[in-house]
A and B are shown apart, each in its own frame.
Chain A
Amino acid sequence: MKIKNIIITFVSALAILFSTSVVSLAKVVGDKIILGAAISLTGKYSSNGVHTQNGYNMAVDRINSMGGVKVGGKTYMFDIIYYDDESNPKRAAQLAERLISQDGVEFMLGPYSSGLTKAIAPVTEKYGVPMVEANGASRSLFTKGYKYLFAVLAPANLYLDVAIRTAVELNGGKGVRIAQAFEQDAFSQDVRLGILDAAKETGSKIIIDDKLPKELNDMAATLAKVKATKPDVLVVSGHTKGALTAIRQIAEMKVDVPMLAMTHCDAAKLSKQHGANSQYALCASQWHKTLTYKDDFFTDGMTYDADFTKEFGYAPPYQAAESSAALLVFKDAFERAGSFDQKKVRDALAATNMQTFYGNIKFAEGGQNVDKPMVLFQVMCDDAGKCENKVVAPLKWASAELIHPIPKWSDR
């Protein structure tokens, strides 16, 4: 019966392992404020996860080098503990639990994507840990009555609302025929709900309403239908892969559609990867470098763009910019709260009313940012094939005029 002994040894080894691996860090150690974040470093959201992480790091370095956070007459520096959530909600929830109960983190930064934020929010809420998130836009996050969740971005249903309204306006106020294809995930489905609302209000008709699988890499069936039915607007949303797939296959299949509205164009580096093929795509964005917002840390959008490019070697998509803004919000709240008491910090966060390079930030009851509109940009290329994203709506910030309708492939 030696096998039983082995098992007993094993169980005790397990016990020792568990007890020695408890490393408890307090939220504030010495002059460090330690924030926790579960980020998608691997899996289907890995590219956006990295944008998020770079945005956080950029802001941490900047705030620290410019004097840190002053709370109660003492100066503190930011530090972040990262874990990889593997783009999986189950893991994200587990990691949030781990950050809070094992690492002792008392303030959290959000993950990438609505789905993962949905998985983490119940945990932070349970422990009363304030979380400022920059990448969970699904409207359903803000209707659950969460008290400790704050999002610096505009909710997902507003993403392409402007595009539909613009199309209707260009159509002489008459409703348009919309074809849409969305990935089956929390964010894209919420963008879809926004389109449904806009369509209802403008009297537009939805003629194709497809759901696409996650890890989107083929939507030829949808595009074949689009070719046959000739809608006025084609809407596609499916994170970075969705944007890349759509452009690739639209170009391959030479699909002619007067307006192509999408999300995640800049995160997917569309203009760089697909060049002239991505021309005329209309993209929803939380931020664009040409917007005229200002703050003391990053000066303005153009400076942020230049600094970020210097540091990380690519132009910042809005996912990075909003992530940086989350840190600015935390800094502001800590200083106004004058304490590290979670309740006080939470109340300070709720009272946030500030401008950052990324936009104005003011939270509604549900935690969403209500003071920052979405912008639409269009990919525009010159004759040499160099492409750029130019803001076309709202008019206040427009740096170029919307090109509509998109020229036919035979004329391009």
Chain B
Amino acid sequence: MNKNIILYAAILIFGIAAPFVFPAFKVQLSILCILIILAITWNVQGGEMGYNTFGNILFYGLGMYLCASVQVGMFFPLAEWTEGGGEKTFVHTPAQFFQGFAVGLAVAAVVPAIVAGLIGYSILGLRGHYFAICTLGLGVAAGEISGGIEIIGAGQGFTTPPFPKVGSLEARGEFFYFCSFAVLVFTFLAVKAIYSTRFKLVLNAIRDNEDKAEAMGIQTMKYKIIGWMISAFFCGLAGGIMGGLVGYIDSTDVAFDGREMGVFMVLMAILGGKGTLWGPVIGATVFHIFKEGFWTFFLGWQYVALGVLIVVIVIYFPEGIMGWLREKYPERFGEVVDEADRKAQVELK
């Protein structure tokens, strides 16, 4: 227990000190936090519940548009703000900016959760590939639909309110970093708490054999929906922050960015090891570092390098980094392994 506290304290201190120790990397660090949040929330479905969703990007994009819209709409007419070629310039005062952002984030968390409940009720009955394909469609459809809605900028995109002139030049980066880090800590603790309850066992039961779980008297539908709502809540928060951080929302390239963010969240969770608490965190971190590295050193070939990385993951670490460690050092995960058992396994191989 003691060791745990030391570890958490170390990470917390690192997280708080990071933007001051590496001031030039604030944006990358903020994005790292967002990526970890997305990986953790994807893992709730993909890892613990065995439902491979590509639809979480829907909540992320929804959160992004909602947060920005509320932030603008609270003080100015939204339609005039987003009107293409609009001649008017509106400027948020610092108080308006932060109030708007806070309310925006709240809306960006709650509404996607409600939407997840409504959609979940209708599609969580699907299983396996059918569910994956259906959710894939959700993200694509949302991107196309939002690209046609004039009030949120349609194809022109939505410029989020510029950060007000407070403090130094670094204030904006620090603000968004601490927002994303705080949400990351909140997400991690919430998910950790949830995983220590019966709820996680139910999700695992659904993953291992849904029919059996139902036969045991578990209302699987209820749990599946609640699980998805939890994911949507945090995805929405992540999206809201990301919108402010990027400063410009495009329907398919930034908000409902299924082919990048939507795929990355799955990759990161698998890379780290799905079905574990720390797996997505490690996976997202490793993934982000590799991605940034490829980007710098293999300009023009970064996606080829990323592709090679994915192939390596699939071949050598099919269970992810955590899964690989667990197989290699089961004792360290608190698993008791009988020596004879291990021998037998080696012989089998």
Contacts and interface: CB of A to CB of B under 8 A. Distances in A.
Interface in A1-30: 1-4, 6-8, 10-11, 14-15, 17-19, 21-22, 24
Interface residues of A, number: 59
A126 B172 contact: yes
A101 B23 contact: yes
A278 interface: no
B246 A119 contact: yes
Consensus secondary structure, chain A interface: helix
B162 A122 contact: yes
A90 B27 contact: no
Contact of A41 (B14, B247, B299): B299
A193 B84 contact: yes
Contacts of B154: 184, 189, 211
Contacts of A138: 156
A189 B89 contact: no
B96 interface: no
Nearest to A41: B300
Contacts of B260: 88, 90
A3 B253 contact: no
A89 interface: yes
A214 B282 contact: no
Interface string A34-69: 000000011000000000000000000000000000
Contacts of B26: 101
Nearest to B278: A7
A19 B285 CA distance: 16
Given A89-B250, A90-B254, A2 B169 contact: no
Contacts of B167: none
A88 to B, nearest CB: 5
A93 interface: yes
Contact of A119 (B247, B302, B325): B247
Contacts of B156: 138, 140, 186, 189-190
B157 A126 contact: no
Contacts of A144: 89, 159
Interface string B73-106: 0000000000011111100000000000000000
Given A2-B329, A2-B332, A17-B289, A140 B254 contact: no
A98 interface: yes
Contact of A83 (B86, B257, B299, B325): B299
B7 interface: yes
Given A84-B302, A115-B157, A183-B155, A140 B172 contact: no
Contact of B155 (A93, A145, A185): A185
A271 to B, nearest CB: 28
Contacts of A127: 169
Nearest to B300: A41
Contacts, number: 156
B232 to A, nearest CB: 21
A189 B155 contact: yes
Contacts of B285: 10, 14
Contact of A211 (B85, B148, B169): B148
Interface in B222-256: 242, 246-248, 250-254
Interface residues of B, number: 59
A152 to B, nearest CB: 20
A188 B260 CA distance: 24
A101 B155 CA distance: 30
Contacts of A139: 84-85
A123 interface: yes
A90 B155 contact: no
Nearest to A125: B162
B147 interface: yes
A1 B331 CA distance: 9
Interface in A238-284: none
Contacts of A42: 300, 302-303
A184 B250 CA distance: 10
A394 interface: no
A15 B14 contact: yes
A102 B25 contact: yes
A73 B47 CA distance: 65
A331 interface: no
Interface in B1-59: 3-4, 7, 10-11, 14, 21-28, 31
B195 interface: no
B131 interface: no
A145 to B, nearest CB: 5
Contacts of A15: 14, 21
Given A1-B3, A119-B247, A122-B162, A184 B289 contact: no
A97 B14 CA distance: 22
B163 interface: yes
Nearest to B259: A88
B159 A122 contact: yes
A42 B260 CA distance: 14
Contact of B27 (A10, A98, A140, A193): A98
A223 B334 CA distance: 66
A399 interface: no
A213 interface: yes
A145 B89 contact: yes
Contacts of B333: 3
Nearest to A122: B247
A309 to B, nearest CB: 24
B178 interface: no
Contacts of B14: 11, 15
Contacts of B242: 90
B317 interface: no
Interface in B125-154: 144, 147-148, 154
A15 B32 CA distance: 14
Interface string A151-170: 00000010000000000000
A3 B325 contact: yes
Interface in A185-214: 185-186, 188-190, 193, 211, 213-214
A185 to B, nearest CB: 5
Give the top 8 A-B pairs by smallest Cβ distance, nearest first: A184-B155, A2-B332, A119-B248, A139-B85, A122-B247, A184-B147, A102-B24, A189-B155
23 contacts: A3-B332, A6-B325, A7-B278, A10-B282, A11-B10, A11-B11, A17-B289, A18-B22, A21-B296, A22-B24, A89-B157, A89-B248, A93-B247, A94-B31, A101-B26, A115-B250, A126-B162, A140-B86, A144-B89, A182-B155, A184-B154, A188-B155, A211-B154
Given A90-B253, A119-B246, A122-B159, 5 more contacts: A11-B14, A82-B299, A89-B157, A93-B246, A140-B84
